[in-house]
Structure 1
C-alpha cells in the first residue's frame, strides 16, 4: 500500500476513525461508532447545503427486515416521513410474453411485508440528521482527499487544500468508483452491463396492492416499484445506446409505453415527474480491509439494482464492522489492527459474494435475447414456480435474500 511522508504539525489526531464519504453508508457507520464511544471525522467533497437538501434522484430503495432493524437501532428509520414508506407485500417476475410467473410472498401466517420501499433522498436526509445529532461526529464538507498514507501507527489523509487528518483507522465510503480505494492500492472487479436505467415516477388508475413487478421484456426490462398511494416508480433498463430515446419521450409517450408494457395491470398511467438516467456497473472490491483501512457501502460492493441489495448490503457492512470495532474499542485494542478488520471482511464477503455473482448471472441470462436463453428463462420460471420441491427451495432462498431474514447473518439473529 502506498505511503507518503506527511508533516506532523498540521495533522489532527483527535478522531478515532476517519470516514471518507458522507453518503448514507458513511453517515450510518459514523452513528454506530459514536454510539459505541468512538469519535468520528467525516470528510465529504459535496457542499453542506447539498447534503441537507438532497435532490430527489428518482430512486426508490427496497429495504429488508434486517436493514430496517439496523436503521432503527441507529435512529435513521425514525427520521423518515411515514407517509413515504411503502410496504412491499409481494414481488412477481415475468419473462417476455410467456405464461409463467414467479411470485414471492411473505411466509405463511405472517402479516409482515417482504420489505419496504423508501425514496433515496429521504434516506440520505435521515442519515445526515442522525449523524449530525451526535456530538462525537464531526463533518467537514467540501473536503477533497488528494492523498493518503497508511503507516505503522496511523492512517492519514491530505486534502487538496493542504490540510491533513489522521486516526487509528481510515474507512472509505466514497462510492463504487472510490478514489480512496484506488489511493489505498486496492483494486476491484467491475462488471459493465452495457445498459442503463431510466427511472420515472408514474400515477396509475388501479391499486398496486404493494406488488413489485419485474418484467423482462424483449428489448428492455421494466420494474414497477410500489410507492405510497396509487403511484409507482417505473424503472426501465435498456441497452446504453437507447437511454437517450427514452429520456427524449414526452410524458404522455413515456406513460403510454409503461401502460403498454404493464399489460393493463395498473390501468391508465400518467407520468408525474422528471426521468433520471443511470449507467449500470457492478463493482466488487478485491479486498474489504487492510491494515488501518476498510471499505464499506458501494466502495466495497456496488450491486446491479435488480435484486435491490445495494443499500441493504451497505447497512449489513456497517452493522458488522461496527460490531467488530466496538469489541476492539471496549477491550482497549487498536482499532486499525487486522484481526477486527479481517473478521468484518470474512463475514461481509460470505454475505455478499454469492448474491453479487448470482445477480450478475441472472442479469446476463435475462438480458440475452437469443432463442436458447429465452427458452432457458421460461424453463427456470416454470420450475421455480410449479415443480416441487425445487419451487419451495428456490423461492425460500430468494425470499430470505429479499427480506434479510437469514440464519447465520448478524451473529445468527433472524
Structure 2
C-alpha cells in the first residue's frame, strides 16, 4: 500500500506547457496534485530554447493571464502578428489575413515555447498545492471507477482519484490506460531556426506552399524571423548536417531570397511530424489533455491553443465538482469534457489534415485546386474574416 504522502487527488503525467497549465489552473483549490515528469528538476526550471515559437490566440492569452503566466513572460519575448499571407508555388498571388480595421489588436502573438514553460513552472512551483516529481516516468498504471494507481520508474507507487495524461502525442500513459489512437507518422520533419535578415517583415507571417516543401516565416523582433522548413525527413537530416555557411546558402535558395541575406541567430532544431487523435479522451478515473488527446499538424499553429483551452475546460469542471462536493472523476463529467473537446477540435483537426494533403500533393490537379482555393478564399470576404475572427477569439 502506498504511503500517505503518495496519495493524491490528481496526478498529472507530463510537465509540458499543457500539463503545467492544468496544474496552475488548479492552484487556488485545496486539491492535492502531483506532476510527474521525466526531465530533471534543473532542466524543467531552466528550459532551453527549442526553436519553437507558439502562435497564441487572444483566447489563449486570456487563459495564460488568468493563471498568472502571461505577465510573467518578458515583453521582449512577445512578438505580435499583424497579418498573415499564404502563398502557393511561384505565384505572386497571396491569400491575406489581417485584423479587422480599427481593432487595434494583432491577429495573435508569438512567444517562445521555452518562455511559456518557464512562466508556468514558476507558478506551479510557487504554490503548495502541487508536488513536482521530476526525473521519473510512469512504468505501470491501473485504473477503475475507484481510482488510479501508478508505479514510477524508481518503484514508488502513487494513488489518485484522477490520473491526467499530458505526456505527448506518443503518450506512454495513454497506452498504459489501454486507450488507442490514430497515429499518423507523416514521413516529414520540420526544421526550425531563427535568422536575422535584411528585408523588413512588418510583423507579417508568411506560409509558402512550394513544390516538395513548405516554408513558414514567423516575424519576431525587428529584422529577425523564425524560419520553419518542412521537408521529407531524409532531406531535413541532410540540411541539419550542413555547416552554417552551406546551410544558409541552401536556406536562401529554398526561400528564393524572400528575406534577403540571412545570418543564423540560433541553433537549428528538427522535429518529425506526427499527428494523433485518441479514440477516447477519458477512461474510468483518467483523462487525456494536450497532445496526449489531440496532436495537431503545426501548419495552422493551433495545437497548443486547443490543448490550452482543453485543460481549462477540464480544470473548470473539476473545480465545479469540488465546489458542489461531487466526485472529481465523475464519469458523466468526464464524458461531457470529451464531448466538448471533440466538438471544438474536430473541425479544425480534419480541415488541417485535408489542407496538408491538398497543399503537399504534387499532382497537377492538386496544384490547380490549391491555386483556385486561395483565390476563392481571397474573394469571399466571409472566409477570410471568419478565419481572422477564429484566430482572435
TM-score (norm 1): 0.92
Return the offset for 1:181.
Answer: 0.3
Match of 1:348?
341
Match of 1:3?
none
Provide Cα deviations, 1:225-269, integer angstroms capped at 9, x if missing partner: 111221001100001221122112332333334434444443322
Question: Aligned partners of 2:7 and 2:341: how far apart in 1?
Answer: 29
Match of 2:208?
215
Find the partner of 1:399 among 373, 388, 391: 388
Match of 1:253?
246
Provide Cα deviations, 1:200-233, integer angstroms capped at 9, x if missing partner: 1100112211111001111211100111221001
Query: Which ranges of structure 1 fall in alignment gaps of 5 or more residues?
Result: 1-7, 406-414
Match of 1:123?
116
- Retained in 1: the 8 A contact 2:81–2:219? yes
Tell whether 2:94 aligns with 1:101.
yes
Question: Aligned partners of 2:301 and 2:72: how far apart in 1?
Answer: 22
Query: Which ranges of structure 2 fall in alignment gaps of 5 or more residues?
Result: none
- Retained in 2: the 8 A contact 1:282–1:304? yes
Question: Aligned partners of 1:11 and 1:355: how far apart in 2?
Answer: 44
Find the partner of 1:330 among 323, 326, 332: 323
Match of 1:71?
64
Return the offset for 1:303.
Answer: 1.0
Provide Cα deviations, 1:132-179, integer angstroms capped at 9, x if missing partner: 111111111112211111123221111122211111111001111100
- Which is further off, 243-252 or 38-47? 243-252
Find the partner of 1:283 among 264, 276, 288: 276
Question: Aligned partners of 2:30 and 2:98: how far apart in 1?
Answer: 40
- Which is further off, 143-152 or 180-189? 143-152
What is the CA RMSD across the aligned residues, in angstroms?
1.5
Provide Cα deviations, 1:44-99, integer angstroms capped at 9, x if missing partner: 11111110111111111110000010000011111212101100110100000123
Question: Aligned partners of 1:155 and 1:234: how far apart in 2?
Answer: 43
- Retained in 2: the 8 A contact 1:201–1:273? yes
- Retained in 2: the 8 A contact 1:87–1:115? yes
Match of 1:311?
304
Number of residue pairs aligned between Structure 1 and Structure 2: 393
Question: Aligned partners of 2:291 and 2:377: how far apart in 1?
Answer: 30
Task: Give the match's secondary structure for 1:55.
Answer: coil
Return the offset for 1:13.
Answer: 5.8
Matches within 5 A, 1:2-401: 8-10=1-3, 12=5, 14-386=7-379, 391-401=380-390
- Retained in 2: the 8 A contact 1:234–1:258? no
- Retained in 2: the 8 A contact 1:196–1:279? yes
Task: Give the match's secondary structure for 1:325.
Answer: helix
Provide Cα deviations, 1:289-342, integer angstroms capped at 9, x if missing partner: 122100011101111111001111111011110111111010000111112111
Task: Give the match's secondary structure for 1:270.
Answer: strand
Task: Give the match's secondary structure for 2:318.
Answer: helix
